[in-house]
């Protein structure tokens, strides 16, 4: 790896150096960040489960699905932006890089404010669309409205993180996340347990931590090396270039959000099985995060790595990086999923002692997690294709597999077999279908774009 000549030595050019070591060093802080984020999310869930009221977990679970649609769009959008800034950084086009960063900061602020306004005024409508049980509705509305106050910092943080990652800096976001996580946990305990603010206190703690994270990210962006530091007096990018960047970001955002949209629609079916099923899937999602976030974050890291090498013309490193990444994805996810299945009952007892919720959560873990390595492999192919600039195909595959297929599966089979296992297995089959489509596309790209490296 070659570092830029900065005081902090945090931005890294990745078009040289050992591929395996470079990938691991680049990815490790992102993986740690996602695991840490999952840990404080779990603490938040534990506090809600024990001190958030009778329907706290159910309310947080349904509201969380709505929030995840928007947040996953932010994450996907930022990944698309990162593809562009990685190529600018890799090709040393620092003038356009400065303009791109400044333009994105302004767009994030305006978009975040719009999301906040819509969310606060339509929170009840969103929950009613999901056929939210009446006993859960009141708590869900209050929690959702509070969480929508964090939309602007969420968008700023995700986009800022993507820009820093695209320049090889994965350490600064990790440090900022450690601080915001500790702040979130501390405020959770203070507001929910000490001041008895219940679910609303948990939401307020999360929003405060999100704003702290966003301010730290902004500070870092505006103190970068002067060669590519954004400035308030910079002119924005020309409109045609903004359209190109937004096109990349929106396509990536839609790809990321397709899974969340399908989860929202499937949630209507889950709600018919009662509050225990809702809470069980809420806890399952927290356990799943130990596999989901590392796999998802590795795909994001791979996009930045490949984007820089593509900008530098190092196509040989792209091929080797993909092979290394596939081995790492399976090597982590498969044993980790089996460990989570084996210890599922003890893990779930940390969230609740309700036997109905425990039974639903354990069944979900045993049905889905053994096949989760397929998701990790999918993320490697998605990250590789995005890094090469092919953002449209992963989006189409996600819509087909994660959205349309899952919905059709549940709609066709649940009337014939009213069992939650129908829902669980729709995830497994869709991952296999996604792998077949992505693998075929990458092989086509390899033959077309890398003829010199193809055996």
- Average pLDDT of the segment spanning 261-268: 74
What number of other Cβ atoms are within 10 A of residue 193's Cβ? 13
Identify the CA nearest to 1 among candidates 162, 167, 171: 167
Measured between alpha carbons, how far is 184 from 453 in angstroms, rounded to an integer? 48
**Residue-wise pLDDT tens digits, 293-352:** 778 777 877 877 777 777 666 777 777 888 888 888 888 899 999 999 999 888 888 887
- Average pLDDT of the segment spanning 246-264: 70
What's the confidence (pLDDT) of residue 107? 86
What's the confidence (pLDDT) of residue 6? 42
**Residues 140-171: b if buried by 16+ CB within 10 A, e if exposed:** bbbbbbbbbbbbbbbbbbbbbbbbbbbbbbbb
pLDDT band at 54 (very low <50, low <70, confident <90, very high): low
**% of the chain residues with pLDDT over 70:** 84
What rounded mean pLDDT belongs to the chain? Answer: 81
Measured between alpha carbons, how far is 346 from 362 in angstroms, rounded to an integer? 10
Q: Is residue 454 pLDDT above 70, yes or no?
A: no
Q: At what angle are helices 275-311 and 373-387 packed, to 10 degrees?
A: 40
Measured between alpha carbons, how far is 177 from 282 in angstroms, rounded to an integer? 23
Is the whole model's pTM more than 0.75, yes or no? no
Measured between alpha carbons, how far is 64 from 67 in angstroms, rounded to an integer? 5
Contact 395, 419 (CB under 8 A): no
For the chain, the structural domain boundaries read 2-449
- Please tell me the least confidently modeled range out of 256-260, 288-292, 397-401: 256-260
- Average pLDDT of the segment spanning 401-405: 87
Identify the CA nearest to 198 among candidates 275, 156, 253, 139: 139
**237 or 180: which carries more pLDDT confidence?**
180
What's the confidence (pLDDT) of residue 62? 77
Measured between alpha carbons, how far is 61 from 44 in angstroms, rounded to an integer? 12
**Residue-wise pLDDT tens digits, 124-155:** 998 888 777 788 888 889 989 999 999 999 99
**Residue-wise pLDDT tens digits, 152-173:** 999 999 889 888 877 878 788 8
pLDDT band at 9 (very low <50, low <70, confident <90, very high): very low
- Average pLDDT of the segment spanning 196-218: 91
- 2, β-bridge pairs: 13
Surface-to-core class of residue 445, CB atoms within 10 Å of its CB (0-12 exposed, 13-18 middle, 19+ buried): middle
Identify the CA nearest to 207 among candidates 157, 256, 281: 157
- Average pLDDT of the segment spanning 68-96: 79
């Amino acid at each position: 790896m070659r570092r830029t000549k900065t005081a902090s030595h945090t931005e890294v050019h990745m078009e040289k150096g050992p591929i395996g070591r470079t990938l691991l060093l680049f990815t490790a802080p992102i993986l740690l960040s996602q695991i840490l984020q999952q840990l404080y999310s779990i603490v938040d869930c534990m506090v809600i489960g024990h001190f958030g009221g009778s329907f706290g977990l159910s309310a947080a679970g349904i509201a969380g699905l709505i929030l995840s649609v928007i947040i996953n769009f932010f994450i996907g959008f930022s990944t698309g932006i990162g593809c562009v800034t990685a190529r600018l950084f890799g090709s040393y086009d620092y003038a356009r890089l400065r303009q791109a960063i400044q333009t994105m900061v302004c767009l994030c602020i305006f978009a975040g404010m719009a999301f906040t306004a819509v969310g606060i005024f339509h929170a009840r409508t969103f929950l009613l669309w999901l056929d939210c049980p009446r006993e859960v509705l009141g708590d869900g509305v209050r929690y959702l409205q509070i969480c929508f106050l964090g939309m602007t910092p969420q968008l700023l943080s995700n986009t800022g993180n993507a820009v820093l990652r695209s320049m090889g800096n994965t350490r600064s976001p990790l440090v900022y996340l450690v601080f915001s996580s500790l702040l979130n946990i501390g405020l959770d305990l203070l507001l929910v347990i000490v001041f008895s603010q219940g679910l609303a206190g948990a939401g307020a703690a999360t929003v405060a931590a999100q704003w702290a994270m966003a301010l730290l990210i902004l500070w870092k962006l505006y103190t970068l090396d002067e060669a590519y530091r954004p400035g308030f007096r910079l002119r924005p990018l020309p409109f045609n270039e903004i359209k190109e960047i937004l096109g990349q970001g929106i396509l990536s955002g839609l790809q990321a959000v397709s899974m969340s949209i399908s989860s929202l629609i499937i949630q209507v079916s889950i709600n018919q099985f009662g509050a225990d099923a809702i809470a069980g899937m809420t806890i399952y999602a927290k356990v799943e995060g130990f596999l989901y976030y590392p796999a998802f974050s590795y795909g994001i890291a791979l996009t930045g790595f490949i984007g820089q090498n593509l900008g530098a013309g190092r196509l040989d490193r792209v091929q080797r990086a993909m092979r290394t990444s596939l081995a790492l994805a399976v090597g982590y996810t498969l044993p980790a999923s089996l460990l989570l299945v084996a210890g599922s009952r003890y893990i779930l007892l940390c969230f609740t002692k309700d036997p109905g919720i425990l039974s639903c959560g354990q069944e979900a873990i045993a049905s889905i997690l053994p096949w989760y390595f397929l998701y990790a492999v999918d993320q490697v192919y998605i990250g590789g294709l995005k890094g090469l600039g092919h953002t449209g195909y992963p989006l189409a595959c996600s819509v087909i597999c994660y959205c349309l297929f899952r919905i059709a599966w549940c709609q066709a089979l649940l009337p014939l077999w009213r069992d939650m296992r129908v829902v669980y297995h729709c995830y497994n089959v869709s991952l296999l279908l996604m792998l077949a489509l992505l693998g075929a596309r990458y092989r086509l790209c390899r033959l077309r774009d890398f003829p010199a490296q193809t055996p």
